[in-house]
């Protein structure tokens, strides 16, 4: 069974009677443990699709099954619980709280779940270790470089042990070296079994995934495997 199954997904925005169709006829599936890039130019609908898949927005048509559950029929509270349990997010702008410590930023999602609070420190420590940021645990977020901020953002996405990580242009504000470090972390998380859905407009970044969905004008116009995967050492390795 697919982890994500979308059929004829559509999203129409209505602004004072002016309707804009940002997404339509999106039909595809993603298996558990997949690493998918959603690629396309600005305005192609890729971020809209990610927001729908990440339960941040509702589609206006079609069906979306997440782990076999039709989430288009869920209440807002049910969507929030499912989102907090199964999904982690990484955004281009990091979305860290300024003048707040790295540990406190990573801990934030734990304040909204039902786990015992005494376990928070251990879970934050493990998440920071996974991205190589333990040595910055007590730094304020505004004392970090862009690459370090994004690694902290990934740790925050990991702290609830989500099944899926959605990354929206995670390298967009980074130099090439920092971007490669971030993509290497996402590859390692995928190798450990997590499902990664990456939104990007950059071909080089998209090719770190295993499969690319191409979007244009709100539609999926291509769905192709990545045959040669990029790695941070600069080598291109054929996928078996």
Question: Quick one: pLDDT at residue 234?
Answer: 54
- In the prediction, which pLDDT does 233 show? 52
Nearest to 92 by CA among 181, 198, 187: 198
- Angle at 190 (CA atoms; ends 4, 214), nearest 5 degrees: 55
User: What H or E segment, with its residue span, contains residue 183?
Assistant: helix 176-191
Q: Token match 């807002």: residue?
A: 76
> CB 167: neighbour CB atoms within 10 A?
27
CA neighbours closer than 13 Å in the CB half-sphere of residue 174: 25
pLDDT at 111: 84
Q: How would you class 168 by CB atoms within 10 Å of its CB: exposed for 0-12, middle for 13-18, buried for 19 or more?
A: buried
Q: What is the pLDDT of residue 35?
A: 96
d(CA 24, CA 73): 19
Domain-wise residue ranges, the chain:
33-58+74-225
Give residue for tokens 């690694």. Answer: 151
Among all chains, which residue has been given the structure tokens 């499969």?
Answer: 211
Q: Where are the alpha helices (DSSP H) in 66-175?
A: 76-86, 102-107, 120-130, 146-158
Please state the length of the chain.
240
Tens of pLDDT, residue by residue over 103-137, are 999 999 888 777 778 889 999 999 999 999 999 99
Domain 33-58+74-225 in CATH 3.40.50.1980? The answer is no
List average pLDDT for each run of 10 residues in the chain, which is 240 residues long.
Answer: 93 91 95 95 93 95 94 92 91 91 94 79 94 95 94 95 94 90 93 95 90 95 84 55
pLDDT of residue 17: 84
Residue 15, judged by CB atoms within 10 A of its CB (0-12, 13-18, 19+), counts as exposed
Interatomic CA distance for residues 158 and 132, integer angstroms? 13
pTM strictly above 0.85 = yes
- Residue 56 gets the label, from left (phi > 0), alpha (psi -120 to 50) or beta, of alpha
Identify each DSSP E strand in the chain by its residue range. Answer: 4-15, 18-30, 35-39, 61-66, 69-70, 87-91, 164-168, 195-200, 211-216, 219-225, 228-230, 236-238
Rg, Å, the chain Cα set: 18
54: phi then psi, degrees, rounded to nearest 5: -85, 5
Structure tokens at 148: 């370090």
Give, as one character, the DSSP assignment of residue 53.
H
């Amino acid at each position: 069974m697919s982890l994500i199954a979308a059929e004829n997904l559509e999203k129409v925005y209505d602004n004072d009677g002016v309707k804009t169709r940002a997404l339509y006829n999106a039909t595809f599936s993603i298996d558990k443990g997949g690493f998918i890039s959603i690629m396309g130019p600005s305005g192609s609908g890729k971020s809209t699709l990610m927001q729908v898949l990440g339960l941040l927005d509702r589609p206006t048509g079609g069906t979306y099954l997440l782990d076999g559950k039709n989430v288009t029929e869920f209440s807002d509270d049910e969507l929030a619980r499912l989102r907090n349990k199964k999904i982690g997010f990484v955004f281009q702008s990091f979305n860290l709280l300024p003048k707040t410590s790295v540990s406190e930023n990573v801990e934030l999602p734990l304040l909204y779940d039902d786990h015992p609070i005494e376990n928070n420190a251990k879970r934050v420590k493990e998440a920071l270790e996974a991205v190589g940021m333990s040595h910055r645990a007590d730094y304020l977020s505004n004392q970090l470089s862009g690459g370090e901020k994004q690694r902290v953002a990934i740790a925050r996405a990991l702290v609830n042990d989500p099944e899926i990580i959605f990354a929206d242009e995670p390298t967009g504000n980074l130099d090439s070296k920092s971007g490669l470090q971030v993509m290497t972390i996402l590859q390692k998380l995928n190798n450990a079994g997590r499902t990664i859905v990456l939104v990007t407009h950059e071909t080089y970044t998209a090719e770190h995934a295993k499969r690319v969905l191409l979007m244009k004008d709100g539609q999926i116009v291509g769905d192709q495997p990545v045959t040669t995967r990029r790695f941070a050492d600069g080598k291109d390795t054929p996928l078996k």
